[in-house]
Chain A
Amino acid sequence: INHIVHNGGLYKRPFNEAFEETPMLVAVLTYVGYGVLTLFGYLRDFMRQWKIEKCQNATEREEQKDFVPLYQDFENFYNRNLYMRIRDSWNRPICSVPGAKVDMMERVSHDYNWTFTYTGRVIKGIINMGSYNYLGFAQKEGTCQEAAAKVLSQYGAGVCSTRQEMGNLDKHEELEKLVARFLGVESAMTYGMGFATNSMNIPALVGKGCLILSDELNHASLVLGARLSGATIRIFKHNNMQSLEKLLKDAIVHGQPRTRRPWKKILILVEGIYSMEGSIVRLPEVIALKKKYKSYLYLDEAHSIGALGPSGRGVVDYFGLNPEDVDVMMGTFTKSFGAAGGYIGGKKELIDYLRTYSHSAVYATSMSPPVVEQIITSMKCIMGEDGTTVGKARVQQLAENTRYFRRRLKEMGFIIYGNEDSPVVPLMLYMPAKIGAFGREMLKRNIGVVVVGFPATPIIESRARFCLSAAHTKEMLDT
């Protein structure tokens, strides 16, 4: 279904998103596939219970058989019977830097994936379509690496303290000023772990008596942070502005559920690019709604910072909007900058408040200095401040790669989800057998991809996810 833009006046560029519905025949066959696997699962469990087949899972000891069981063995059903059959497509050990090409250690399994043995051979030069390496900064040569090595010899690898005690280095202050300048906000604060940024800061911003409106497909870190905060959570349909508006209207008209008092705060949680769908948030409409109903916006740009926009500044830049409109801009350095950690940017009062009240500022150790230096160098490179045009070239290369890859895949006839411009490309496979087969065939052709199936996605929407990078050349994409 191609989404027709209702508020077309707000968008300065075409917004093409497509989530094609599953063809009916494919859906029926997928259910048949899962049904057959379930029946075989019950059969194997039956044989395992009657000792016809050996049980290779962990079992209780003989003397503990009469105790109340610790785990329900049905909960392990899917894991035992479906996941074990195709387990070799996940958790693959790699032994080189995950750039455009990666080396992987080869594993074989003689007992149908219950145990793995390493053959000792290393498969070299696998084209890496699974790392979030959007601008190609995950490399072992180059200016970033030299700068990081220099800082490592100067500052050491560990900080051994939290931000509020002895862990606030001058490098952190420099990084925060740089991030604030990059985003176009007043000030920013950085944390050592991207997941922890979300889950530890949302409880500091909202509490009981506040309302959180979060998208259907928000990441686990946002969901965890929302639940930890104790606020009421309402979910609106993915990227659906009518659903969001209806929820906002209901919230303001009816107030809190029992007492009818007005909500203390309304926070809208959205992401820049959704990593499993490849769709981009309809930011102009969200900002218009936010202003109309006077609520706050929390934008998680984990995948979109550095990857979208003509100068790589993220989804705000992509739509050409004012970064002051977004109240809390959050992002991670893991994806495009080739480092680790997260940041939150916004008004100065907000960041000063977070410096004192955020859980990770008080309890979590701060970022390690070589990582900080990597971010500083890569960010300066993207902004063009180090004097070369390498940053701009990378951003443009990524955009070209995205368009070319999507166009070619569509021509080949695959069903691709998501926006035309997002570097995350989910290719729909539907049947459970195809998930395993696709992963293995891709490895045979020296391409590494990430496949996901039920229950991480809805039952008829299992997919393989390609993450494009500026480091991919056209020949690599053509293979």
Chain B
Amino acid sequence: MNVGVAHSEVNPNTQVMNSRGMWLTYALGVGMLHIVLLSIPFFSVPVAWTLTNVIHNLGMYVFLHAVKGTPFETPDQGKARLLTHWEQLDYGVQFTSSRKFFTISPIILYFLASFYTKYDPTHFILNTVSLLTVLIPKLPQLHGVRIFGINKY
């Protein structure tokens, strides 16, 4: 198990989101999730959209902002062990294309969800709260910040 044997990239996790086809796969994955939710007969269209939004934001929060470190041992002697995947992207350089894409995509989902739920108050509150949980950790001011010591080690 040799990380980085064929390239001098110390942490391959930083370049995963930049690779060819990742954005397309991500969009297709969200689309698939939505179709699955739409095909369950109990959910009406607004409920399906809100559920898509909430589940997508939950998944994004867990995989990008909650899980820390890398799934393989890296030769950088543990510099990335306490960093979440979002903080590891592009070695911490802010405003790269992947970061912009992943910031914009929950916003687009939010617009679509609020349109299809016809701006109903309950759905609106749910969608907004879930959008905030996924947008706030992406701010550059919160790079490496752990509020109340949650998820520190």
Contact = CB atoms under 8 A, between A and B. Distances in A.
B5 A456 contact: yes
Given A74-B67, A77-B72, 9 more contacts: A31-B25, A35-B29, A38-B71, A72-B69, A74-B70, A78-B1, A452-B6, A456-B2, A458-B19
A452 B5 CA distance: 10
A27 interface: yes
Interface stretch (A112-120, A210-218, A313-321, A378-386): A210-218
A454 B74 CA distance: 12
A79 interface: yes
Given A35-B29, A74-B69, A77-B71, A27 B7 contact: no
B120 interface: no
A276 B24 CA distance: 27
B76 to A, nearest CB: 11
Interface in A203-237: 214, 216-218, 220, 223, 235
Given A74-B71, A78-B72, A28 B25 contact: yes
Interface string A50-87: 00000000000000000000001011111100010000
Chain B binding surface, main DSSP class: loop
Interface in B58-93: 67-73, 81
B8 A218 contact: yes
A193 interface: no
B90 to A, nearest CB: 15
A74 B15 CA distance: 19
A24 B20 contact: yes
Contacts of A416: none
Contacts of A77: 71-72
Contacts of B81: 72, 75
B19 A455 contact: no
Nearest to A457: B6
A24 B19 CA distance: 11
Contacts of B25: 27-28, 31-32, 35
B104 interface: no
A429 to B, nearest CB: 14
A223 B25 CA distance: 33
Contact of A214 (B4, B8, B16, B24): B8
B73 A459 contact: no
B29 A75 contact: no
A459 B19 contact: yes
| 9 nearest A-B residue pairs (beta carbon) | A27-B21, A276-B6, A77-B71, A31-B25, A78-B71, A78-B72, A456-B5, A455-B3, A455-B12
A457 B7 contact: yes
A22 interface: yes
A24 B1 contact: no
B31 to A, nearest CB: 12
Nearest to B12: A455
Contacts of B72: 75, 77-79, 455
A460 interface: yes
Interface string A442-461: 00000000001011111110
A458 B15 contact: yes
B1 A83 contact: yes
Contacts of B7: 216-217, 276, 457-458
A21 interface: yes
Contact of A456 (B6, B15, B69, B73): B6
Interface centre among A83, A235, A455 (most CB of B within 10 A): A455
Interface centre among A74, A76, A218 (most CB of B within 10 A): A74
Interface centre among B4, B9, B22, B72 (most CB of A within 10 A): B72
B28 interface: yes
A27 B19 contact: yes
Interface in B1-47: 1-9, 12, 15-16, 19-22, 24-25, 28-29
Contacts of A454: 12
A265 B9 CA distance: 24
Nearest to B70: A75
A460 B15 CA distance: 11
A457 B72 CA distance: 13
B21 A31 contact: yes
8 contacts: A24-B20, A27-B19, A27-B21, A30-B21, A31-B21, A220-B2, A220-B4, A458-B19
Contact of A460 (B19, B70, B73): B19
B36 to A, nearest CB: 15
B62 to A, nearest CB: 10
A296 B49 CA distance: 61
A214 B29 CA distance: 38
Contacts of A74: 67-71
A35 B67 CA distance: 15
B15 to A, nearest CB: 7
Interface in A431-479: 452, 454-460
